Chain A
Amino acid sequence: MTGIRLNSIKIKNTLAKHIKALIALTLCCLLSVFTTACSNTSNQPANSEPVTNNTSKILKPVQFNYLFETALNDKNWRFINKHLTNDSIVQYIRDQFPDYLPTVSTTATLKSTYSTLITNHSLEESGWYYLFSEKTEDYLISHYRVDMDSAGYVYLDFYLSPDTFHILDIKNVSTIFSSAELIIGLAQLAVSEKQKSLLPLMQATRNKDTAQIKRLWPMLSETHKNNLYLLDVMLRNIATQHTSFDNKMVMDILNRMPDSHNPPMAFEDYFIQKEDYDSALKSIDNMPLFAQQDVKLLSERATLYWLKGELELAHHYAHQALVADPYDLEAYLIFLQISIVKKDYPLAIELMDVLESRFLLTECSEVLPEIEGHQDFMQSKAYKTRNRQSKTQS
């Protein structure tokens, strides 16, 4: 069997950036179900009819995801909305949450949450990248990475119906719950709590009323504070505006996180700002393995080890990043940075050779000034020899 190489290399002129989970933007939407459920617990059951989509049936998962990736990058809402149907969502709720009776309201909330979530990740500078899919017994889980430019990278899982590729659920892998799990969990919590004790905090969170959140949190019972749904809400809220909260409250919330999310990746930026690189690295350990083995998170690890001053480990993960995606420009630039800091100039020269030939960068020297330790490197014998040879060849 033969595969033909295509010349489809995208060049991105970006340097390393920390990964931040962009989750607060969708929080308002997620929380609406809590307040909705609180105000209306007698919604009508939603209809569920067989979902058909003749055009999707013939597609393989990879083919669909290529189309979907293009649609996401082109903000092709017609295509995206075609794969967001009430019927599929209702069926999903019935299958996944058999104790929960799907209402028209919940279904609508889920659908609009998915839509909002996609919208919020589709900023002008955003780039969606389809990684690969995994099949479970019932669903197809397609892993995506979203480049949010200065806001970092986000890893999202789309739960799709295996035949029609309708979107059933979306999970930001930095959080505890998927969108559907959180919305239905909160809806159930709202009913069980008789709309009382948690409502003010939820409303404050929805309104991004930091002062109110800070006031209400200490007043909650221990049971409430340890409730995973509430913790997930707090995680989403605080992660992106942790500077607004005092350290004691942040630590209180972090300490209550389940082992699988302690510390959560959403707090990586928080740890980096505090120069707590060990915790930042631990937060990467809590990401799903597919994300951990993605080039961006491997480069992130390399960067963190560089910041920690552990250059051998930085080198190791920079190498792993290259193996994970040998066509990722950012991975080469981070590796170049690490090799220069490590004063491994022969390696730096060879990385520059690939950068110039693979990414058509005519002069690596254009990016060198942005690299720490570049002065020493540019004064090195290895660099000067290379420069001489280049001039002779040209």
Chain B
Amino acid sequence: MKPTSRAVSWAFLVFSLFHLPLWALSNAQDVEFKIEKAPNWVTPKQLEQKLSLAKLRKPAHYHLVDVQKHVATQSQYRRYVYSVSDPSGISDYSDISIRFNPAFEKLTIHTINIVRGGKIVSRVEKSDIKIINAEDDRSNNIYSGEMTAVTLLKGVQLGDTIDYAYSLAGQNPVFSGNFASFEWLGWRTQVDQINVEVISPKSRNIHYQVYGTAQTVSVTQQEDNLLYRLNISNSQKVFEEDNVPSWHKTYPYVQFSEYANWQQVATWASALFTVNSQPSEQYLNLIKELKKQPQKQAIEKAINYVQDEIRYLGLELAENSHKPHTPNEVIANKYGDCKDKSLLLVELLKELGVKANVALVSSYKSKMLNTYLPAHNVFNHAIVKLEYNDNKYWIDPTISLQGFKLENKYQPNYSYALLIEHNSTNNDSVQLVDATPSQPLKGTVNIKETVKAIDYVSPVEWIIVSHFTGVEAEDMRYKVNNSGLDSIQKQYLNYYAKTFPKISKLSALKASDDIKNNHYTLTEHYLVPDFWTINQTASEFALNADYTENFIYQPDTIIRSQPLYIPPRVQVEHRVTFILPEDIDFSSSVTEDVLEDKHVRFVSNLSYDRRHLTYSNQLHSKTDHVNPEDVADYLSLLKKIEDHKTYYGEITNVTQESSMLAMQKLASRLNKMRAKNSPPTQLYEGR
């Protein structure tokens, strides 16, 4: 099921794990809730005629989803009615969870009934409901203070109908009473009736937008209120396909917002990001240190300080879901979430004379953000826009280990941003701005393998030099720092062993980090006894240049109605150079195949140069998605690309070499003699 819509806080990108600060959590046992009837403003909905078990959809049949919101009292009412029609339905749908934030919301449960044969057979009492901490973002270092009221229903039988309703009163004060709401109009299951209502005083102008359904919002007057209503009968089941870009609107929805334009959202946010406190001594000392550097280095140092020395931790309790902690607090605590870090960085940059703004973005809606109504709940993240030497940089202060130089840091593409500008609050022209970074590529991966054969039978030396830049370097740096080289070595070795079970390492995996330029290099060195496949007339070999596969997604859903995600702005090259024992003419095998469409360009090349036989595959992604109508052609292209991942070759006449046996014997002795701690061989990375 799609989860209940909740206000999303501006913190989601997490790059490290820390200890749980228990003091940050409320005590679940102290949280109050009531069981009483629904408030007067709620209009009860009548259910359709009861269906026989045979006619119920499996494993659960949703009869009603009813959401009613009361703007004046900042309250919302929710009711769900469904029948369990299958044993798996009983298993999956007999637990009820209601999420709320006791810091500003009061939970009232109206009913939790089990209905059998038209009669209520079980009513849930207060003692049946347990309140537990709902910190499910804890692993992401985000603490919201939310709770879950959990009810484990007893005695549920096949054909039973579960009918529960509750209301939440109160709104996070950080929104200053401004109303904004999203409700889904489609679920992963068919629903007989979806009802969404908003009751608002006439004096408050509510904007609305419906997406993905032909139904429209009806507006009727009820005394001093306006009732906005949307009712959908027999909503269609929504199929969520795999590898869909996050910005794609898969589910139909209705959005309500009291904001007339982005200017009003910016004005609201601007107040939250205003620093009123006097700078602390720690803050002033930091500025003093930064100012000792030339401006460019000071900028880089400020960014690195916020990214790497302020650990990521989101204490998003109550107002701090959207209101940042002050720079003084963040520096003192040495932790913060996206908005805390962004505000601190902007303040530091301003002290350095650099134009900088906090930029509100959405990691999910990204390129579709401008299609939503202006509202405070369309953003889920904050970053920093800075201008230096006529260049714009979009820096994400929650990413760590990004390298030192400003221009080499990977800048995520959030497509649109709302800039927080304190001096332009009266400017009606405030709009979302283009937040596309000027960096042409997110990152590059360059794998250069060298296979050295001493003859056509004996084990070969296999050297792999993997070079990463941009986001790929940052990912690899993070992975190595977190897991340790030894774990990665083990992982890699076992992966290769699937192809070459007798493989052994000749030297330990080596990592070389050029953090200044944000480059990362891994070097591996193996001995592969089962490289050659010997038959009566020839020695066969295979050169795998298949790293590009990591950037090509073969979806599970082939016949699609939703776009297919492609990793954007990536360039990958995988090159395997096989150094043969002697000069063998492969000129007749030399080929170059270019497979290209509007989404990707793939170049596969086999070249021969004296003793060097080189097989290489290059992939360059041109876009971030494939439209459903193009998927079939795109997948046909991927199939052709798939055919190029390995080059198979063979060398004939190997047994005619008079020294073959002597050489084989010598190679065997030498390989046995290889000292465990043999000195590192300098590996050629030039080809």
Seen from chain A, the residues whose Cβ lies within 8 Å of a Cβ on chain B are 1-6, 8-9, 60-63, 65, 130-134, 285, 288-290, 292-293, 312-313, 315-316, 319-320, 322-327, 346-347, 350-351, 353-354, 356-358
Contact = CB atoms under 8 A, between A and B. Distances in A.
Given A347-B669, A358-B658, A358-B662, A289 B686 contact: yes
Contact of B585 (A3, A130, A351): A3
Given A4-B584, A5-B584, A289-B685, 17 more contacts: A1-B647, A4-B585, A5-B652, A6-B582, A6-B584, A6-B585, A60-B590, A62-B608, A132-B687, A289-B683, A327-B582, A347-B666, A350-B665, A350-B669, A353-B662, A354-B662, A358-B663
A320 B678 CA distance: 11
Nearest to A320: B681
A63 B675 contact: no
Interface residues of B, number: 52
Interface of B: 452, 454-455, 461, 538, 579-587, 589-590, 608-613, 647-654, 656-659, 662-663, 665-666, 669-670, 673-675, 678-679, 681-687
A224 to B, nearest CB: 30
A5 B656 contact: yes
Contact of B461 (A289, A292, A323, A354): A323
Contacts of A347: 666, 669-670, 673
A62 B587 contact: yes
A132 B662 contact: no
A353 B666 contact: yes
A326 B587 contact: no
B463 to A, nearest CB: 10
Contact of B581 (A1, A327, A354): A327
Contacts of A325: 611
A132 B650 contact: no
Contacts of B647: 1
A319 B582 contact: no
A312 B675 contact: yes
Contacts of A63: 587
Which of A134, A288, A323, A347: most chain B Cβ within 10 A? A323
B454 A323 contact: yes
Contacts of A358: 657-659, 662-663
Given A2-B650, A292-B682, A316-B679, A132 B612 contact: yes
Contacts of A357: 658-659, 662-663
21 contacts: A2-B652, A3-B584, A3-B585, A3-B651, A4-B584, A4-B652, A4-B653, A5-B653, A6-B582, A6-B585, A9-B582, A62-B587, A130-B610, A134-B687, A289-B682, A319-B670, A324-B579, A350-B665, A353-B662, A353-B666, A357-B659
A326 B610 contact: no
Given A134-B686, A358-B663, A346 B669 contact: yes
Contacts of B585: 3-4, 6
Contacts of A130: 610
Contacts of A3: 580, 584-586, 589, 613, 649-652
A331 to B, nearest CB: 11
Contacts of B538: 2
Contacts of A351: 666
Contact of B582 (A8, A313, A350): A8
A134 B448 CA distance: 14
A326 B670 contact: no
A266 to B, nearest CB: 20
B454 A326 contact: yes
A351 B670 CA distance: 10
A385 to B, nearest CB: 15
A158 to B, nearest CB: 14
A290 B684 contact: yes
A6 B583 contact: yes
B650 to A, nearest CB: 5
A16 to B, nearest CB: 19
Contacts of A131: 610
A354 B538 CA distance: 21
